Amino acid sequence: MNADADAMDGGRTRRAARLLRDLLPYLGLILLVAYFSLASDFFFNARNFERLVTDSATLILVALGMTLVILVAEIDLSVGAVVALLSVILAQAMAAGLPWPVAVLLTVLAAMAIGTLNGVITVIGQIPSFIVTLGMMAIATGLAFIFTGAISVPILDETFLDLFYSVSLLGVPVPLMIVVVAFAALVVMLGRTAFGRELFAIGANIEAARLSGIAVRRNKIAVFAVMGLLVGVGAVLSASRLGSGAPGSSPSLTLDAIAAVIIGGASLFGGRASMVRTLLGALLIAVLNNGMVLLNVNVDSQFIVKGLIILLAVVLERLASAGGR
C-alpha cells in the first residue's frame, strides 16, 4: 500500500512539474508584461516594444543556436565573448577601409570557423564541450582586448548602421526580419528534415544513434558550425545597435541564451528542445532585461533574478523527469 501510494504521489508530482515546466515560458512572459506595464509608465508602448524586439535580436539568434547545441547534449559557454570579439573584428575591418558587405561576410565566416573549431575539438578530441568553450571564451576575451587596447572601435559607415538597426522594410525592422527567417528555417530543419530527427536521436541516446548508423560526429560538428553562423549574424546586429566594436559588449549574453533555452523546457541532458519555446524563453529574458532597466534595477540584482529563474526551470525539469524522487 505504501509503495502504491508513493508511486501515485510521484506520478502526481511528475505531472504537476511537467505542466508547470510547459507553462513556464507562457505564464512567465504574460506575468512579466503585466507587471512591468503597471510598474513603469514607459514599458507598454509601441516605441518601447519596437526597441525591445530590435535590441533582443542578437539574444534570440544566439538562443536558437544554443538550442541545437543543448539538444545534442553539449553546451557553448563562449558565445558572449565571441560576439564581442566578432564585433571588434567587424569594426576594425571597416575602419581599415573594407566595404561593409565584405566586412560582414568576413565576420560571419570567422564566426563559423570558431564554431566549427569548437565542434572539432569537442568531438574529435573527445573533450567536454563546456571545457572547450570555456577555453574559447578566455581566448576570445583576450583577443578582443588585445586588438582594441580595451577601447571601443567606432563604426562610422551610416549605410551599415541604418540597414541593420534603423531601416524597416515593409514596416518591419531588418533585425526582426532576420530573426523571423532564421527561426522559420530552424523550425523546418528540426521538424521536417532527416538532420533534425538525427539531432533528437543523438541527444536522446548517443550510443543507440551511433549503432543505427547516424553520423554522430559529423552532425555534432555541423551543430557547432550553425551555432557559429547564428553568433556571427548576432554579432553584426549587436555592432550595428551599439555603433561600435566593443571588447566587453556582451557580458550577460551567454547566461541569457542558456536561460532562454532552459526556460523553454529543453533538457540539459539532450534529446528534448523546441525552437518555439526557446523563442518564448528569449522573449521572456528580453522583457525582463528591458523592464528591469526601466525600473533602474542594478546589474547585480538582474543576475540574481535570472539565476533564480534558471534554478526554477531546472528544478521543474528534474521533478518532471524523475517524479520527485
What are the pLDDT digits (tens) for 80-126? 999 999 999 999 999 999 999 999 999 999 999 999 999 999 999 99
pTM of the shown model: 0.92
Q: Write out pLDDT tens, residues 192-204.
A: 999 999 999 999 9
Number of Cβ atoms within 10 Å of the Cβ of 277: 21
Is the pLDDT confidence value at 10 over 60?
A: no
**What is the C-alpha separation between 198 and 219, in angstroms, rounded?**
8
Residue 22 lies in a domain: no
Find the domain containing 72 and state its range: 45-318
Beta-bridge mates of residue 169: 172
Residue 20 lies in a domain: no
Label residue 199 left, alpha or beta by phi (over 0 means left) and psi (-120 to 50 means alpha).
Answer: alpha
Q: Write out pLDDT tens, residues 48-67.
A: 888 898 889 999 999 999 99
H or E element in which residue 265 lies: none
Smallest CA-to-CA distance from 221 within 69, 82, 65 is with 69
Smallest CA-to-CA distance from 68 within 76, 57, 77 is with 76
Residue 30 lies in a domain: no
Residue 241 lies in a domain: yes
Residue 246 lies in a domain: yes
Q: Write out pLDDT tens, residues 160-197.
A: 988 877 777 777 888 999 999 999 999 999 999 999 99
Residue 29 lies in a domain: no
Residue 158 belongs to domain with CATH number: 1.10.3470
What are the phi and psi torsion angles at 12 (to 5°)? -65, -40
Number of domains in the chain: 1
